[in-house]
Amino acid sequence: MKRIFSGVQPTGNLHLGNYLGALKNWVGLQDEFDCLYGIVDLHALTLPQEPDALRAHTREVAAAFLAAGIDTKRCAIFNQSAVPGHSQLAWLLACMTPLGWLNRMTQFKDKAGKHKENAGLGLYAYPVLMAADVLLYKATHVPVGEDQKQHLELVRDIAGAFNRRYGVEYFPLPEPQIFGEATRVMSLRDGTAKMSKSDNSDNSRINLTDDRDTIARKIRKAKTDPAPLPDDPKDLEGRPEAANLIGIYAALADLPRDAVLARFAGAQFSAFKEALTALAVDVLGPIGEEMARLLKDPGAVDAILRDGAEHANALAEKHLAEIDDLIGLLHA
């Protein structure tokens, strides 16, 4: 059985990086895999969240999943906190995760900033909860953007540690699926920084809910360099902003980078940016509109989340009973 788990944090507007690095790829996997897609609200709590905003963002991410083309007849969409097994398994796995493994995680270092001793335990244990998300369903594959690669290596290490300790091949070692032309979409203002929800400048990212004019303005303002576009992808080296925009175009158009360069070689950025704007509006416009339509009926979104959680809970409870039994936790 090939099964997928992947998740998105409900911490704000989803952006083009989330779409191209994750959601777009998820849609293509639903025929081949049993898919569970989580809105990982417990992960969001690793940094302070305003309660009403957290609720609203949870529904927004659900709407984004649906608008991107996730089909609830084939996939379960649910929020993580609606399946208590995530927290339960996270504890069990925390008890077999050496601190040394967590100390290697670069995301903790980035997010904790200078004052590490003020950072929460949850932020530190974040990758263990991620391991629980994936292993709770015995997922075999995890489609993500490149920024999650290190976390998924840890998930594999934790799965291996469990299997060795109990002398069984209980958890499959999940494979990260990092594919497409935009596995790491960069900021529109700085081609060396990741496009991110937490960037202070909204001009650094294209949000899935941005309208046509906003998308056009952000792309027009996007940082570039003075040279025209090359015809060979190798000549994008050392030109991070150009490489980023070409990668975005390629991913949105479902074309390899060299095909995009063949089309735009020698062109100035102004012409290329116009074409990129038209393409981005074409692809993202319908998604934003569908999200807005879905969010007018929050009750319907909640019903989808409830159904998804019911499906996920059934599988989670079955696996947790097996895991508890292996560990020796008595269910009298």
Stretch of 69-77, 143-151, 220-228, 240-248 contacting ligand TYM, by CB under 6 A: 143-151
Question: Is 111 noted as a catalytic residue in this protein?
Answer: yes
CA–CA distance, 147 with 125 (Å, rounded to integer): 17
E strand map for 160-219: 175-177
> Considering the rule CB under 6 A, would residue 190 count as an interface residue with ligand TYM?
no
* Torsion angle in degrees (nearest 10) through CA of 57, 63, 66, 67: -120
Cβ 13 to ligand TYM, closest distance in Å?
11
Member of 24, 138, 141, 194 binding ligand TYM (CB under 6 A):
194
E strand or H helix at 177, and its extent? Answer: strand 175-177
Question: Taking CB positions, which residue lies at the least distance from ligand TYM?
Answer: 21
Numbers of helices and strands, H then E, in the chain: 14, 5
Member of 5, 33, 137, 162 binding ligand TYM (CB under 6 A):
5
User: What is the chain's percent helix, strand, coil content, to nearest 5?
Assistant: 60, 10, 35
Angle at 27 between CA 297 and CA 65, to 5 degrees: 25
DSSP 22: I
Q: In degrees rounded to 5, what are phi and psi of residue 2?
A: -95, 120
> Considering the rule CB under 6 A, would residue 133 count as an interface residue with ligand TYM?
yes
Residues 12-31 within binding reach of ligand TYM (CB under 6 A): 17-18, 21-22
Of 194, 218, 223, 273, which is the active-site residue?
A: 194
Q: How many residues bind to ligand TYM according to rule CB under 6 A?
A: 24
> Considering the rule CB under 6 A, would residue 195 count as an interface residue with ligand TYM?
yes
Member of 35, 36, 66, 145 binding ligand TYM (CB under 6 A):
145
CA–CA distance, 55 with 35 (Å, rounded to integer): 23
Cβ 100 to ligand TYM, closest distance in Å?
21
Is residue 185 left, alpha or beta, with left meaning phi > 0 and alpha meaning psi from -120 to 50? beta
Nearer to ligand TYM, 5 or 249 (CB): 5
- Residue closest to 172 by CA, chosen among 220, 137, 140, 213: 140
> Considering the rule CB under 6 A, would residue 148 count as an interface residue with ligand TYM?
yes
- Residue closest to 26 by CA, chosen among 4, 44, 43: 4
Cβ 268 to ligand TYM, closest distance in Å?
26
Question: Is 273 noted as a catalytic residue in this protein?
Answer: no
> Considering the rule CB under 6 A, would residue 79 count as an interface residue with ligand TYM?
no
DSSP 11: S
Question: Is 234 noted as a catalytic residue in this protein?
Answer: no
Binding pattern for the stretch 30-69 against ligand TYM, x by CB under 6 A and - elsewhere:
----------x--x--------------------------
Binding interface with ligand TYM (CB under 6 A): 5-9, 17-18, 21-22, 40, 43, 130, 133-134, 142, 144-145, 147-148, 183-185, 194-195
Q: Which residues are catalytic?
A: 111, 194, 197
